Amino acid sequence: MGVTVTVAQHSADLEALIDSCIASKDSRNEDWDTLAFQAKAGDEFRRAQIRYIGSGATGNHESDSRILPSEHFTFSNMRLPAGAIGPEHTHHDVEEVFFVLEGTLEVTVHDVEDGTRTASRTLGYRDLIRVPAGVPRSLRNVGDTDALFCVVIGAQRPQLPTYPPTSPMHGVTR
């Protein structure tokens, strides 16, 4: 015999479903601590992560019940103060996407074999770049105000990035 679902139960299930899929701006916080170890290389590496889906490759934040669970990718915002730098790093297992919401962001890709060879582009409001897995990348806020941008990483639980010898983070421990 089948299970009978009433209209009220079905509606309640839909209400619970949609509520479980929302991460509102008001429930987010700027986490300046998750990447704080990078400030060991200088204050210009200080930045905040604002998590929405999954915890990205920045550490274990699974106890934060405000973060929506990830199935196939992670999504966060990053706040990079004027003049601040996201240091050269490589995600070997996943592509990474940056989508600018506010400010001006210079994104640089580095040659895999010779990190001193680079190509850079300046991105502004609603500009996007996808960096393939295995390509070293770095970011710099070249504007006068904070840059706020979306970061999408293409895996439920990406591996920790590595820092090549040309990165200011090379040898810096978490």
**Mean predicted confidence (pLDDT) in 109-125:** 94
Can you give the pLDDT at residue 165? 92
- Cβ count within 10 A of residue 39: 14
pLDDT recorded at residue 73 = 95
Lowest mean pLDDT among 74-78, 91-95, 170-174: 170-174
- What confidence score (pLDDT) does residue 62 get? 74
* pLDDT (0 to 100) of residue 60: 72
Query: Is the pTM higher than 0.85?
Result: yes
CA gap 121, 15 in Å, rounded: 43
Residues 117-131: what's their mean pLDDT? Answer: 98
Helix, coil or strand: residue 130: strand
> In the sheet where 85-89 sits, what is the strand order?
85-89, 137-141, 105-110, 118-123
Domains for the chain: give ranges and CATH numbers.
29-153 (2.60.120.10)
pLDDT over 60 (residue 103): yes
Q: Each residue of 19-62: pLDDT tens digit?
A: 999 999 999 999 999 888 888 899 999 999 999 999 877 767 77
How far apart CA 105 and CA 124 sit, in angstroms, is 6
The structure tokens 């990190």 sit at 115
**In this model, does residue 108 exceed pLDDT 90?**
yes
Is residue 152 within 8 Å of residue 96, measured between CB atoms? yes
Euclidean distance between CA atoms 92 and 115, whole angstroms: 15
pLDDT at 171 > cutoff 60 = yes
Amino acid residing at 101:
L
